[in-house]
Chain A
């Protein structure tokens, strides 16, 4: 059910001053696969995500997409490669409306009076309304300001932003933190839905039950090093926890 290797990282290193966040990590992501990224705080998960999304640049290493080496120098480049990221704090702009947030960075213009670019608000409203409704999260209007929304709704806006542009890879950084159980289930459904559409997903979470419910493969990072990379059905949550906290070494 999973296809060829879509994304590959080789020996990725990144340090902040004297702190090495990633000490040479290799990883792969197949087409249509859900990869869960697990690790304790400061294990390097977020750094890896930021590198892939173009928020920071790597110090060393290579990234291949469809076997072609790519340089992801900024967020726009990442999005152009078909990688969409849903950040932990959603990266929403509170003072703007829902539809502006969905299209932020790629607003749709229409030309009037022979070439003056004007925002096509109607189109953006319709399209964001469609995408958000597809996810099945309750919404009254896309003209609301984001600051008026609940946590689940905000998450929906952030995911809608990722979904709208037919991405090949979606990265979700802690999509379920701070949500109610009902909303968590919803998000899990949405993630599985991605898979059905053939979108690859990288999924970071502390919530192991969500991971085991959705992921195909689980990768564990500890202090910037990959310590485990196994198929979901071959391991238990106990294995993951032991790897995360290096419990076996303390024996």
Chain B
């Protein structure tokens, strides 16, 4: 295996894990990212075939996912429904929409510069990973140097306290789901460019992988604890290990077992590290 490939292959999962870790820090969960990836793939690919141009297609893809992100966010923060249920709802709705929109067929377009995004390298680093890195740096800045960042942690550990301090909790919660939707759209666009076509099932299963990556990266399921940087790293590691299983000659059944073991072992390691670094309460 080589580094270039690992970076290229983990780009989509890494950015999804980044978005998922933000959502999980606010004590939420976003099950819809996987099907949003598929939906964005279909929307973008469909519009790439139109005469409006590439940028319009990309923009529409981002807009679509953002719409569903805001939709989930508003229901979660205003009507106060559990995030798990709301995003499960949007997950099945968007998965269905993706299939309906393309009629079960893959979509394609006349080759243009959009196809080359996934092929180009910037000083040996895949452009896709560069894009992901930019988002990563932005999120790190957001987390550490803005009030939004501390509110994200605050909402996760004590939402009520924050509300009583006059923080617009509902707004920030909605924004987090919007961000998660946006990141899903970035992942969707990257995958679309990679496979040079729109595929209605391309995002299948990514939501669970992103949640696993975030959890193994130390993001707590009850919010308020963890660093998205580790979620990002664990996404890259998981991709490396799971890809590696196949290439080391494990047959698919053994790969399944291997992934199960990797997840459990990753979580176990995470527990041990947490115990070593923090005194037990």
Contacts and interface: CB of A to CB of B under 8 A. Distances in A.
B280 interface: yes
A197 interface: no
Nearest to B279: A17
A17 B279 CA distance: 5
A231 B246 CA distance: 76
Contacts of A18: 279
B51 interface: no
Interface in A5-32: 16-18
B144 interface: no
| Interface size class of chain B, counting residues whose CB lies under 8 Å from the partner chain | under 10
A18 B279 CA distance: 8
Interface in B247-281: 279-281
A9 to B, nearest CB: 23
A18 B281 CA distance: 10
A16 B280 CA distance: 7
A18 B280 CA distance: 10
Interface string A51-70: 00000000000000000000
Nearest to A19: B279
A17 B277 CA distance: 12
Interface in A180-235: none
B276 to A, nearest CB: 13
Interface string A138-155: 000000000000000000
Contacts of B279: 16-18
A21 to B, nearest CB: 11
B111 to A, nearest CB: 59
B82 to A, nearest CB: 15
Ranked 4 nearest A-B pairs via Cβ: A17-B279, A16-B281, A18-B279, A17-B280
6 contacts: A16-B279, A16-B281, A17-B279, A17-B280, A17-B281, A18-B279
